Structure 1
Amino acid sequence: MDELFGRSGRLVAMAAVLWGAGVAQSVADSAGVTELDAVVVTATRVEARNFDLPVSIDALESDVIQDQTARVLVSEVLKRVPGTLVTNRGTFAQEEQIMIRGFGGRSQFGTRGIKLVADGIPASTPDGQGGPGLFDLGSAGDIEVMRGGFSALYGNHSGGVVQVFTEDGPVDPTLSMRLMAGSDGTWIAGSKFGGQFGDLNGVVDAYHSETDGYRDWSASIKDQVNAKLKYALPSGGTLSLIANSMNLPNSRDPLGLTAEQVREDPRQASEGALIYKTRRTLDNMQGGVILDQPVSDADQLRVMAYSGTRSNEQFLAVPLFSQNAITSAGGVSTYDRHFGGASLWWSHESSLAEGPLTLTLGGDYDRSTDDREGYINEYGTRGALKRNEDNSVDSWGGFVQGSWAFAPRWSLDVGLRRTQVRFDSDDHFICTTEQVTAPGTSAGTCSGSTVAISESSYNPDNSGSKTYSAWTPAFGLLFGLTPDINLYANVGKTFETPTFTELAYRPDGGSGLNLDLEPAISWHYELGAKFLLGDRTRLNLALFQIDTDNEITVATNRGGRSTYQNVPGSRRRGAELMLASEFDHGFAGHLAATYIDSVFTDSFVGCAGIPCRTTGSTLNAATVDSGNQVPGVPEFSVFGELSYAYAPWGFEGGVSVYGQDAVYVNDRNTETAAGYWLLNLRGGFTQRMGGLELSEFVRVDNVLDRDYISGVRANDANGRYYAPGAGATYLVGLTASYAF
């Protein structure tokens, strides 16, 4: 721990030098008041002041999320949260990758290891795979990001929880329209309507986003609608209806590049992407109902139920000769998914030994069923059937959570959760000498293959099931050193199962599910301090260590398809700093800095090629040394912004800097993506004329046109690790709203 405290001390010192003068002025002259102790619910499931919780949790409010942003990608705003990293892969086909405290870096598409929630409805499937593209930022009231051990009470994940809450409609019915245009053929058109109508409050947001993309073969279209209706019941409760639709009709995927290709032309697409027309079509619809009902002055009940459908078709760059194998699942992956679930919470407020006590009991059930098929990718068109199976995941969870102020300056938060996740797969694609359910075009062959079925060449029945379960406790202690300084410590255990995608393929190239994968178990330890420095400045500090057994890592990655394996262990040590302040004369500042040392604690045998066998007769295997860095995780990242507002002109703007250290791209640490710093500018004006409000803005990101890598594909078998980020880009926007 000496190394951790030493480096974190240098981090704090660096921040103090950068910020000291402004903070001193803010504390000395604190005439204004800003909301420094936002009310949050993610940590305790009941409303509590952020400042009074023994956990690391930050809330981004609607003005940060919606003002002078495109409102399409969470990477636009989450960089403001320490400990949190979002990589934009430059294509909607793969969605964005959220990492918290070094978890989530192995995800090859979407987000893994992080629990995603939208208005109380899971945006992660029961197995843990999530898509932040489901978050509608145009109607987001706030985003809460919780890191550390207390996220254990949300079930299957390792790193933390990201929860988005749709805003309420304004008091007066208001219609707004927005239009934006920018670099690389980007344009966005959206509208929002909301208001209060007696006992009914509602808001609906819809937009269309389209871009040619920075790189070749990266054009994408996204359509999204999000709606919330909230009815005030005569009994004092509320009944909320949530509906969300997201459609990606044809998102092209340029795939990763080698280091040499990046040097030649970072805007090019991989040759395989152009040959096999790699792309994704996705349609997701879901809805839910939430009842919040006070049962008495001391008791609150919440009931939630949801349901949805999701269809997906993805074309992968798998060579035709590889697809010809009887055991191959082909180069086109499709599924039709039905999902749903429900949860029930009960909270009770009382006292114990004259100290306030809040107790919460709850349970949840989630289910997802997939009709999954695979086909030959014949240079961008769907060919013969190669895979046909029904998959389902069921997750049950129950928890108890309590918060007790047992002494005037002390409070204790504890929780315990039991989670069970069951995977079932029913294989309908069988080609053996005894049974053929997927016959080929000629006798004795299997669909999509010219290889004759024999005793040594066959595709067996790969049906199977597996159940994972764990108890996950969390403990937190908070001490109020002064009314404006809180010190805290917490510890918690998280549990993360493989996803069905991670179980789908085996590193050795054989058929069937990779049922040897075990869940990752992590213990989180954290010390922290929260400061209110006057009325206009907030400072948060946190030190953490996370020890993980059975870390799940990428074994092989080729042509858009990945396989996974467990490794003995890893350790993440780090420090986080968040500093936010309002200065005089319209200035304000925000700083988020993270240091993390993320390493494998034991050596293991990894894959250096495909197919891979790491036990018995080894093939394409290589040793990964103890102490190697976990790929995809930078040692430091920093976001800083200085903003300025001048009310007489209706002007608001800002300059921001984002930087991160180099990241290793494979377990063996043989290559890195270089670190970088980006400078961004934004500014705009707002005019109000009665019920009409007009806002115009322009923003320029990566002003200095720096070359950088925005995302990496860990352990890519062909060395195509790198997804180059966009150069200097601009976005111009106009919003008009009218309150009736």
Structure 2
Amino acid sequence: MTPFPFQYALLTAVILQSMALHAQDTTEYQQLPVIKVQAVRTDSELLQTPATIQKIQAPQMQENTNVNLSELLQGVAGLQINNRENYAQDLQISMRGFGARSTFGVRGIRLYVDGIPATMPDGQGQSSNIDLDSLDNIEVLTGPFSAIYGNSSGGTILTETREGQEKDSIQVGLNAGSHHKQQANIQVQGGSDQARQPAYVISSSYFDTDGFRDHSAAKKVLNNAKLTWNLEDGSKINWLINRTKIEADDPQGLNRAQWQANPKQVNDAKNIYDVRKEIEQTQTGLTWNKPLNDQQELYSMVYFGNRQVVQYQSIPSSAQKNPRHAGGVIDFNRDYYGADFRWMGKELLSNTTFIAGLAFDQMREDRQGYENFDATGRYGLKGELRRDEINTLWNLDPYIQASWQFLPQRHLDAGLRYSNVNYESEDHYITTGNGDDSGSIDYQKLLPTVALGWEILPELYAYTSYGKGFETPTFTEMAYPTVGTSGINFNLKPATSDTTELGLKSQNTLGLFAFALFHTETKNDIVPDDANGGRSTFRNAEKTLRKGLELSWQKQLWQALNVRTSYSYLDATFDADIPATTTKPLIQKGTYIPGIAKNQAFVGLAWQPGQGFHAGLEARYMDKIYVDDINSDTAPSYTVVAANVGYLWVNKDWKVNTYARVDNLFDRNYIGSVIVNDSNSRFFEPADRRNFNVGLSIKKVF
């Protein structure tokens, strides 16, 4: 018996086929909704796409604060999303184990907003600039077909903003909750019948909190705008502008004794170091779709952005006496831009769609490091310069895709992308004891994907797929060869993976079902090496293995009562020994990879009518998570429950929505996320205890 037998797939196929046959007669008389998806670029139906895609519509009525992406993505099969309760470090998101190593931000997963990357060219992304107040839907693409997005696409999350519709309207909202959370937001929107006048959605919000833990206060300002032109020649232009500003204190991780004694405490009890982060990001992008005729279409996208970060760390001055130490303050200014051009042709050959494109991205980072103390020895200030470098990165990726329906119920999809990423670092800080750390390196990989789909019945679809993935180290992961040194770690190798998947989908009167089995082998997986004082270093693991299954079901049970459930199983292990070093013990083959939960489950019930009373109840289970490579300790498993109630009042041109929500209803003391391989055993980032928020929004249509 293996933990991942083929019998599971066979049993699921039999069950789904039986259910589809049972529901077939009823389905003929009841038109089921057609779910369109765009994640594989062919604008196809969910039930006829040979990939694991889950689509989440934004709620029609607000039932949460709309600050963190985790509010919408909980319960997506295969997705592990952890809220650190630490706005200085962003959410911790992993997909089938990819991205679990991240100590901040999102890595190994590509993020997009309206087709524009929220992931840097090196694979470092952040979810903080996604405006949930103006969101329309999210598509989560897992499995082999993610490789069509190139570098660091162990999975892909694509968010889509609403377009302005019909009459002009304005909506204002207020939210408040535990730990002095408060948010104010305003949105204006409107459509246009004139080709030269844009439809528009403009959104602005302000959020602040004292934080669940000591020294975890945060402020966030987010502005977002989307203008849409539908031109007379059939082409469409979207122009997006986004600006985000965050100021957040960082309470850092705790060791087990600290967590059990007081999960709210900050590691630096006297707040000597005043650990914190300041972020400013401005980004704009333009997309253009142009149909040439009934068979051909052009698409282009260009974007520009700037990201500035200043981070103060908890590093004692004694450690910075090393002349090669980069200091305790990180300060960088990053300009980035890119473009994507592609052509799509349909029926040029019978029953075939072709896509050909070229993607280009570039980033220039001006990075400095400073001592985190002044001449008097006071910490939490920007002191003497200790690092000064210019880092540049670019990639130029050609790609092609094809979809061929070679039989009425069978089709073949394939893709090929050549991913090449070029790094260069110019060291401008050269002193006695700290030499020239300049250097450059290139990474290239050919990424094929192929999938075979079979419509067994109109309500039952099966597919099998294969893809090769490619993940380069980010500049942040290359930033330190070891904890106490500076310069770029050019010894890190890119990770390559081979993934196979078998999937089944069914949509009938019994609901929408999805089932997937997958097997991923990775070479030179990039894994955490050490973490100390907010500084993380990384190394390569020769081989890792991930295999698992995912199951989801959703259905409208009765009138406005909906249910949504999911279960994920992931067995992620090192598939070869990692030799011991002077500071690390031998990691034996078969050891579980830290940061990854083996089992996850979710169930949610929601009563969501068009108006009137609405309510919801959710339960989420997370298995234990190992904290380091030798599996010396775990963040224990937990189950948490959340509930919400509200009332939506609609009267002609007015709409008023109120809601109240309680998270962690039974006041569980659990760990929200872990800091893998922390040198001081401060692995644990506690989650919030029972907490609430209430909100009110008022919308007026003119």
Normalising by the smaller structure, the TM-score range is over 0.9
1:214 aligned partner: 212
Once residues 9 and 121 of structure 2 are traced to their aligned partners in structure 1, the CA distance between those partners, rounded to angstroms, is 39
What is the one-letter code of the residue matched to 1:492?
Answer: G
Q: Please give the secondary structure, in 2, of the residue aligned with 1:297.
A: coil
2:597 aligned partner: 634
1:156 aligned partner: 151
Report if the CA contact (8 A) 1:8-1:574 is conserved.
no
Report if the CA contact (8 A) 1:404-1:412 is conserved.
yes
Q: What's the offset of the Cα at 1:24?
A: 9.4
Report if the CA contact (8 A) 1:26-1:584 is conserved.
no
Are 1:487 and 2:501 an aligned pair?
no
Deviation digits for residues 68-108 of structure 1 (CA, Å, limit 9, x no counterpart): 12111011111231001111111111011211001101011
With normalisation by structure 2, the TM-score equals 0.95
Q: Please give the secondary structure, in 2, of the residue aligned with 1:621.
A: coil
2:59 aligned partner: 63
Report if the CA contact (8 A) 1:179-1:733 is conserved.
yes
Are 1:224 and 2:198 an aligned pair?
no
Are 1:374 and 2:369 an aligned pair?
yes
CA RMSD of aligned residues (A): 2.2
Q: What's the offset of the Cα at 1:584?
A: 1.9
Q: What's the offset of the Cα at 1:3?
A: 2.5
**Alignment CA distance shift 1:420-1:6 (3 Å):** closer
Deviation digits for residues 334-382 of structure 1 (CA, Å, limit 9, x no counterpart): 0011110111010000154x4x111000011111101100001111111
**Alignment CA distance shift 1:703-1:650 (3 Å):** same
**Equivalent pairs: percent with the same residue?**
34
Once residues 418 and 59 of structure 2 are traced to their aligned partners in structure 1, the CA distance between those partners, rounded to angstroms, is 38
Deviation digits for residues 514-533 of structure 1 (CA, Å, limit 9, x no counterpart): 11110000011100100112
Q: Please give the secondary structure, in 1, of the residue aligned with 2:164.
A: coil
Are 1:553 and 2:527 an aligned pair?
yes
1:444 aligned partner: none
2:376 aligned partner: none
With normalisation by structure 1, the TM-score equals 0.90
Once residues 11 and 210 of structure 1 are traced to their aligned partners in structure 2, the CA distance between those partners, rounded to angstroms, is 50
What is the one-letter code of the residue matched to 2:583?
Answer: N
Q: Please give the secondary structure, in 2, of the residue aligned with 1:666.
A: coil
Report if the CA contact (8 A) 1:27-1:533 is conserved.
no
**Alignment CA distance shift 1:672-1:539 (3 Å):** same
What is the one-letter code of the residue matched to 2:523?
Answer: D
1:412 aligned partner: 412
**Alignment CA distance shift 1:191-1:590 (3 Å):** same
What is the one-letter code of the residue matched to 1:221?
Answer: K
| Structure 1 residues 149-548: aligned runs within 5 Å | 149-199=144-194, 200-248=198-246, 250-271=247-268, 274-350=271-347, 352=349, 354=350, 356-378=351-373, 379-432=379-432, 458-507=433-482, 509-534=484-509, 537-548=511-522
The one of 614, 623, 638 aligned to 2:586: 623
Q: Please give the secondary structure, in 1, of the residue aligned with 2:689.
A: coil
Q: How many pairs does the alignment contain?
A: 691
What is the one-letter code of the residue matched to 2:667?
Answer: D
What is the one-letter code of the residue matched to 1:344?
Answer: F
Report if the CA contact (8 A) 1:151-1:159 is conserved.
yes
Report if the CA contact (8 A) 1:679-1:702 is conserved.
yes
**Alignment CA distance shift 1:498-1:412 (3 Å):** same
Q: Please give the secondary structure, in 1, of the residue aligned with 2:147.
A: helix
Report if the CA contact (8 A) 2:295-2:348 is conserved.
no
Deviation digits for residues 19-39 of structure 1 (CA, Å, limit 9, x no counterpart): x99x9999979997663x421
Stretches of structure 2 that go unaligned for 5 or more consecutive residues are 374-378
Q: What's the offset of the Cα at 1:644?
A: 2.0
2:633 aligned partner: 671
Deviation digits for residues 20-61 of structure 1 (CA, Å, limit 9, x no counterpart): 99x9999979997663x4211111x13111110110011111
Deviation digits for residues 94-139 of structure 1 (CA, Å, limit 9, x no counterpart): 0112110011010111001001111111111110000011111111
The one of 700, 709, 712 aligned to 2:674: 712
1:592 aligned partner: 566
Report if the CA contact (8 A) 2:483-2:531 is conserved.
no
Q: Please give the secondary structure, in 2, of the residue aligned with 1:261.
A: helix
**Alignment CA distance shift 1:31-1:321 (3 Å):** farther
Q: Please give the secondary structure, in 2, of the residue aligned with 1:153.
A: helix
Once residues 192 and 690 of structure 2 are traced to their aligned partners in structure 1, the CA distance between those partners, rounded to angstroms, is 45
Q: Please give the secondary structure, in 2, of the residue aligned with 1:51.
A: helix
What is the one-letter code of the residue matched to 1:712?
Answer: V
2:107 aligned partner: 112
Report if the CA contact (8 A) 1:127-1:500 is conserved.
yes
Q: Please give the secondary structure, in 2, of the residue aligned with 1:260.
A: helix
Report if the CA contact (8 A) 1:26-1:583 is conserved.
no
Are 1:650 and 2:647 an aligned pair?
no
What is the one-letter code of the residue matched to 1:562?
Answer: S
Deviation digits for residues 578-601 of structure 1 (CA, Å, limit 9, x no counterpart): 100011243210001100000000
Once residues 461 and 155 of structure 1 are traced to their aligned partners in structure 2, the CA distance between those partners, rounded to angstroms, is 32
Report if the CA contact (8 A) 2:27-2:508 is conserved.
no
Q: What's the offset of the Cα at 1:395?
A: 1.3
Report if the CA contact (8 A) 1:25-1:583 is conserved.
no
Once residues 421 and 631 of structure 1 are traced to their aligned partners in structure 2, the CA distance between those partners, rounded to angstroms, is 28
**Alignment CA distance shift 1:7-1:714 (3 Å):** farther
Report if the CA contact (8 A) 2:169-2:188 is conserved.
yes
Q: What's the offset of the Cα at 1:651?
A: 1.2
Once residues 75 and 102 of structure 2 are traced to their aligned partners in structure 1, the CA distance between those partners, rounded to angstroms, is 22
Report if the CA contact (8 A) 2:426-2:438 is conserved.
yes
1:699 aligned partner: 661
Once residues 3 and 231 of structure 2 are traced to their aligned partners in structure 1, the CA distance between those partners, rounded to angstroms, is 56
Once residues 193 and 551 of structure 1 are traced to their aligned partners in structure 2, the CA distance between those partners, rounded to angstroms, is 46
What is the one-letter code of the residue matched to 2:684?
Answer: Y
Q: Please give the secondary structure, in 2, of the residue aligned with 1:263.
A: helix
Moved more, 315-324 or 26-35: 26-35
Report if the CA contact (8 A) 1:27-1:537 is conserved.
no
The one of 86, 90, 104 aligned to 2:85: 90
What is the one-letter code of the residue matched to 1:403?
Answer: S
2:698 aligned partner: 736
Report if the CA contact (8 A) 1:708-1:724 is conserved.
yes
Deviation digits for residues 500-546 of structure 1 (CA, Å, limit 9, x no counterpart): 11111013744421111100000111001001122x61000000010
Report if the CA contact (8 A) 2:483-2:535 is conserved.
no
Q: What's the offset of the Cα at 1:645?
A: 3.9
Deviation digits for residues 549-587 of structure 1 (CA, Å, limit 9, x no counterpart): 001111110011000100111010100011000112432
**Alignment CA distance shift 1:110-1:10 (3 Å):** farther
Report if the CA contact (8 A) 2:505-2:514 is conserved.
yes
Once residues 586 and 43 of structure 2 are traced to their aligned partners in structure 1, the CA distance between those partners, rounded to angstroms, is 49
Deviation digits for residues 243-267 of structure 1 (CA, Å, limit 9, x no counterpart): 000001x200000000010000000
Once residues 121 and 67 of structure 2 are traced to their aligned partners in structure 1, the CA distance between those partners, rounded to angstroms, is 25
Q: Please give the secondary structure, in 1, of the residue aligned with 2:293.
A: coil
Report if the CA contact (8 A) 2:674-2:685 is conserved.
yes
1:690 aligned partner: 652
Report if the CA contact (8 A) 1:254-1:273 is conserved.
no
Are 1:125 and 2:120 an aligned pair?
yes
Q: What's the offset of the Cα at 1:731?
A: 0.8
Once residues 462 and 220 of structure 1 are traced to their aligned partners in structure 2, the CA distance between those partners, rounded to angstroms, is 36
What is the one-letter code of the residue matched to 2:643?
Answer: L
Report if the CA contact (8 A) 2:92-2:106 is conserved.
yes
Q: Please give the secondary structure, in 1, of the residue aligned with 2:318.
A: helix
